Chains A and B, each alone.
Chain A
Amino acid sequence: MNLPDAEQLLTALTAQLKPTVNTNTALLGIHTGGVWLAERLHTNLQLSIPIGAMDVAFYRDDYHQRGLQGNTRSSHIPFAVDGANVIIVDDVLYTGRTIRAAMNELFDHGRPTSVQLAVLVDRGGRELPIRADYCAHTTSLPASQMLALERSDNGHLSLRVLEK
């Protein structure tokens, strides 16, 4: 399969977001790829509210099957969630379970005015009624494959397919 160029997708995502963002827009990146994207979007869109970063491990629905996986990073939301217009940013939208977990955690920080979702790629395979408001690329991948965003030392973003 021919993978699209992540940098071009980021440019497209920036263009999609541009008409709707304003000084009240707060980006919330999901670790790790979502945080990289949120950082870049924050610069591209010249937003003023600092970005938030979230690790949804404490809200995942597979904890009772799998326990805590890997190293959990700290969720850090430097803006007041009450009344904020939040855009959750993630690299790949798949089952929708990560986004559900993120929304649950977000509401434990306060009551946002609105929540939207921006992703680089929607790879299909949804298991929950969740869709992206902004999405740069849509594709369909078999469950045996994982789509991952990678970042080089100089900050260049790229996509990679991994066999499970």
Chain B
Amino acid sequence: MSNTLSFTRNPQLNHQGELQHLLSIEGLPREIIERILDTAAPFTLVAEREVKKVPLLRGKSVFNLFFENSTRTRTTFEIAAKRLSADVINLNINTSSAAKGETLLDTVDNLAAMQADMFVVRHAASGAPYLIAQHLAASGRKHIHVVNAGDGRHAHPTQGLLDMYTIRHYKKDFSQLTVAIVGDILHSRVARSQIHGLTTLGVPEVRVIAPRTLLPTGVERMGVRVFTDMQEGLRGADVVMMLRLQNERMQGALLPSSQEYFKSYGLTPEKLALAKPDAIVMHPGPMNRGVEIDSSVADGSQAVILPQVSFGIAVRMAVMAMLGGGSQ
């Protein structure tokens, strides 16, 4: 069956080449990424209206399946779905069925039997959203869509997309940019999604800045320049994307101490001065002030960290609106 074939090629796209699931930025054609960013723009204005809602997903059920804790991402997905008029059901699986021993796919089958239209999935295991999408396709439930809200160290595509939206908003064009991603690249699904997004959109210079111990082996093969010296890596950057130091994912002695880390890799006004004067500073949140970013930079005029949050809702609305419509 051609359907099975197209699944093995790219499970994210349907026969017509339209978005079927959002699992990863990797493998998304540039046109689809640009279409998501274009579609997000009019959604940013919906939030400024008297009625902050459009009726696109009226009568649809969106299930937030969070097998791993996340307040911010879950909340922004919830707001996005509600602004599209969907009914949103939040499930913290940590504290429910999984704890009682139910398998991932049994949970999915049960919720599908409750007429779910979309699953927003956060899971500690890389590939869990793929497994769900594959399971739904194999059982002929193509009308149910899956959005990856972060899987293990693998991908966090909506974060990557909202970062691309933010960069485009402030810099207009990707083709001349130097973008530096700083921090814990090793544990960061955000960094992977950012790198795939930036390279697909044609950013000529993507840099990663981190201590050797926080760089995945072979990161150069993703098309980035690697710097272990932050001063050197920031020179001439148009965009500085900070990452959170993921203490909860640190195993063993990867770092001497957070003070030591801040000295070498924390973004201070002095280090930021090495980037272009109009460089923007981004952070996916939650921030560790005094660990990866100095308070005066986080609250400074070059920071676009709070606009990122607002854009994130519009981008998630765009993704869900593109998934939720028919394509007959």
Contacts and interface: CB of A to CB of B under 8 A. Distances in A.
B56 A71 contact: no
A52 B287 CA distance: 40
Interface stretch (B166-174, B222-230, B319-327): B319-327
Interface stretch (A1-9, A18-26, A72-80, A150-158): A72-80
Contacts of A104: 55
Contact of A110 (B50, B324, B327): B50
B273 interface: no
A83 to B, nearest CB: 13
Nearest to B35: A71
B39 interface: yes
Interface string A53-93: 00101110001111110011111100001000000000000
B45 A66 contact: no
A108 interface: yes
B49 interface: yes
Contacts, number: 57
Given A58-B55, A58-B56, A109-B50, A65 B42 contact: no
B98 interface: no
A68 B322 contact: yes
Contact of B326 (A55, A65, A71, A74): A65
B53 interface: yes
Given A59-B55, A109-B50, A110-B50, A67 B45 contact: no
A66 B50 contact: no
A77 B44 CA distance: 14
Contacts of B44: 74
Contacts of A73: 42
A89 to B, nearest CB: 19
A81 to B, nearest CB: 8
Interface string A112-146: 00000000000000000000000000000000000
Nearest to B53: A108
Interface in B28-50: 35, 38-39, 41-42, 44-46, 49-50
A75 B51 contact: no
Nearest to B39: A72
Contacts of B322: 67-68
B41 A74 contact: yes
A64 B86 CA distance: 13
Given A63-B56, A67-B327, A108-B53, A55 B321 contact: no
B255 interface: no
A68 B56 CA distance: 9
B250 interface: no
A88 B41 CA distance: 23
Contacts of A65: 326, 328
Given A65-B326, A67-B322, A76 B45 contact: yes
B244 to A, nearest CB: 32
B96 to A, nearest CB: 31
B45 A74 contact: yes
B53 A75 contact: no
A65 B56 CA distance: 12
B250 to A, nearest CB: 42
Nearest to B44: A74
A75 B325 contact: no
A74 B42 contact: yes
Contact of B325 (A59, A64, A71, A81): A64
B38 to A, nearest CB: 5
Contacts of B53: 108
Contact of A67 (B38, B41, B54, B326): B326
23 contacts: A55-B42, A58-B42, A58-B46, A64-B325, A64-B326, A65-B326, A66-B327, A67-B18, A67-B324, A67-B326, A67-B327, A68-B39, A68-B322, A71-B39, A72-B39, A73-B42, A74-B45, A75-B42, A75-B45, A104-B55, A108-B50, A108-B53, A109-B50
Interface of A: 55, 57-59, 63-68, 71-76, 81, 104-105, 108-110
Given A55-B42, A72-B38, 7 more contacts: A58-B56, A66-B325, A67-B327, A74-B42, A104-B55, A108-B49, A109-B50
